[in-house]
Structure formats: C-alpha cells, structure tokens
Amino acid sequence: MNILPLNKTFLDLYGVLPKQAFFAPGRINLIGEHTDYNGGHVFPCAITYGTYAVVRKREDQLVRLYSENFPNKGIIEFQLNELDYDKDHDWANYPKGMIRYIIEAGYQIPNGFECVIKGNIPNGAGLSSSASIELLTGVLLDGLFQLGIPRLDLIKIGKRVENEFIGVNSGIMDQFAIGMGKEKAGILLDCQTLKYVYVPIQLDHHKIIIMNTNKRRELADSKYNERRSECEEALRQLQQKLSIEALGQLSEQEFEDNKHLITNEVVRKRARHAVYENRRTIKALKELKAGNLVAFGQLMNQSHLSLRDDYEVTGIELDSLVVAAWQQPGVLGARMTGAGFGGCAIAIVANEEVENFIASVGAAYREKIGYEAEFYVANIGDGAKEIEMEAVDE
C-alpha cells in the first residue's frame, strides 16, 4: 500500500505533516486452531496485508486518532490521563488500551500524538485486525518515544489489552505472529512455554489463497469464550487423575485412555479437537521441514474436519468454501483459519490453477450462499515495524 495518501489525510486533518510511519501485519494460521489457549502449538505467519500509521508527537497530553477505515467516527480524542475503556471510542479502544498498559508497565509517555491509521485487512475477516492495531500502536509508541520495550513484552501487553481491556478471552497467537513475523517463514509456537522456531516455507510452485466468506464475525459476541470454558471444564475433569496443566500436554493415546473422565459428550469432543489438533500441528512441522507439502495439505484438511465436527466453529459459509476448494485441481489442502464463526479460510493452490480456483470456488460459493466471497493471494511478510515515510509497496 502507498502511504503517501495517509500523509495528505494527516495534513488535511491536523495542518502539519507526519514525522514517522509504522506498519503491523495481519496474520493467518496455517494449522493449529483453538490450541493456543489450550497450551498447545500453533503455526501462524504474518502476511503482507496489515495496518499502517503515520504519526507526529504533540507538545501537550492530547491523543488524536483517525482511521480511514472508519471515517464516520471522525477524529477520536482523549488525554493521557483519560485511558479508561469508552464504548463511544469504538476501534480506538485498542490503541487506548496499549497506551494505558504500556504506561502501567513503567514506561514514560510524556506527550500526546496525532495519528492517521489505515488497514487493508478486511474488517471482521478473522485475519486479526485487532491484534494488528495493538502491535501497530506498540511499535509506534516504542519508536515515537524511544521506549526500548522488548518485543515479547509488547506482545504480552497486546494480549492483555484483548483480554482485560476489550474483554475477549483469546490466546497469545495473534499478537505473537504479528509481533514476531518473518518474511517467508512460519512460526511454530508452543503457547504454554512461548518457545518458538522459525520454519522456512518454500512455496515456489504454490500460492496461499485467503478466501473471505464476507460473513462478519465479532469475536466478543461469538461463542469463542464458550468453547474456551468447555475446554477448561474438560481439563478440570482430566486433572482428577492426570497431572497436567493444559490439554496440549496430552498425546492422542493418553487422551483416548482417559477420555471417560470427561462426563459430557460435547465437552469431550471439544477436548478431542484440542489434543488432536495440537498433534497435527507438530506433525505439520515435520512434513514441512521434509518438503512434503502434500502431507502438510492433508493435515490441513483433517484440521478443518475436526473444527467442523468436534469443535463446531465452522458454519455453512466456511464449510462451503472449503468443500469447494477441496474439489479443485491443484489444491493441496484447505481449512478455515482464525476463530471461525465466519471469517476466512485458506488454501494452498498450484500456481497455474490459481485463476481457475478463484473463479470456480467463487461460483460455487455464490450459488450456495447467495453472495460473493473475496479472494486474496497472501505473501508471508515481516512483523510489526517502523517503515520509511515514502511510498511502501504492498
């Protein structure tokens, strides 16, 4: 995205030009869904779509924020001593929460600032636009005031904003992928220990296609927290016999040997997904390191089936996209990505089939659902960072 138009918007709104520019990506999760808060592994990567900001320090304590994605909200203003959640501030609660918790962590933010933000992540698509704004604000404050915040601390602050300030009981994957992303690499992250390894992803003959259902999903209003509490109940019942801290510590066999401890069949299904999905993610790493993309794609397919049948977070829109994708030539694998309940799916598609894939899956979806899906070719990019003030290529 070219950021020069943001400079013009900034000048029109604030009467001066910005001094610095920042970017934070969105993310996709290749495999390992709903495992992060279950102490398992995830395998996300940052993408080259994301959120941009141009910014300038003020002399006083006023913070002024404007998003080109929500122009009807206008400029949202607050003082540095007014950092409580405010429903009327809408999207600006994400930056506000970051400012508050960074100050609470002992860092000095002596001045306010003016900012213009624009994202090219589709809103509500499940590519983690909220965590992108959180980490964007983190690197912006770090760069603007030379705070020297360790990146992992910024990631943890972003998660705290999501959990405590916004009230969504999510795991750390989104902030971690966006904060630590690396071009042409996925990240295998152990969410229990935060140990991670970068894994080169060689897709010379294939593309990752993001398929947006165009069904918006609002995480705080979804059944996300319900799924989490069901897994916590399963863990409590397993702990009657097993000395474990998280479902992610179990092998498939250990789960099968002890699943009778979980008295509710629905709760047992939720736990089965968490355990088997975690093991799939570890197997996926092995296959990717061996260059076996076919086996990796098969694990993606199994992941979607588990999310559909055991975790029940897909829905007709995501299932329609994924089933249509499975039927196309040149497709190695396809699955929903993100929390589910709408949002996006991903597919790994042979280069020469991409055009046909988009046309065929789009037509099947339109016929089944009655409205259009959107498709994006995703490139794996770097994590949140300061960028040059001149034009930036997508």
Please write the tens of the pLDDT for every residue from 225-277: 899 999 999 999 999 999 999 999 999 999 999 999 999 999 999 999 999 99
From CA 265, how far away is CA 188, in angstroms rounded? 31
Bridge partners of 57, per DSSP, are 113
pLDDT confidence of residue 391: 47
* 29-60: pLDDT as tens digits: 999 999 999 999 999 999 999 999 999 999 99
Integer CA distances (angstroms), 370 to 331, 364, 365, in order: 24, 10, 7
Average the pLDDT over 142-164 and give the result: 97
Residue 34 in marked binding region: yes
Residue 128 in marked binding region: yes
Q: Looking at the whole model, is its pTM more than 0.85?
A: yes
H/E element holding 96? helix 93-104
Residue 273 in marked binding region: no
Please give the residue that has the higher pLDDT: either 342 or 222. 342
Q: Please name the residues in contact with 108: beta carbons below 8 A apart, sequence gap of 6 or more.
A: 145, 147
Q: How confident is the model at residue 340 (pLDDT cuts 50, 70, 90)?
A: confident
Share of the chain above pLDDT 90, in %: 87
Average the pLDDT over 118-124 and give the result: 82
* 203-225: pLDDT as tens digits: 889 999 999 999 876 554 568 88
From CA 188, how far away is CA 44, in angstroms rounded? 7
Q: Report whether pLDDT(123) > 70.
A: no
* 374-392: pLDDT as tens digits: 999 989 999 999 999 864 4
Residue 360 in marked binding region: no
Picking from 227, 124, 121, 127, the residue whose alpha carbon sits closest to that of residue 174 is 127
Residue 284 in marked binding region: no
Kindly list the catalytic residues: 174
Residue 130 in marked binding region: yes
Picking from 230, 224, 247, 109, the residue whose alpha carbon sits closest to that of residue 171 is 224
Q: Please name the residues in contact with 242: beta carbons below 8 A apart, sequence gap of 6 or more.
A: 250, 254, 258
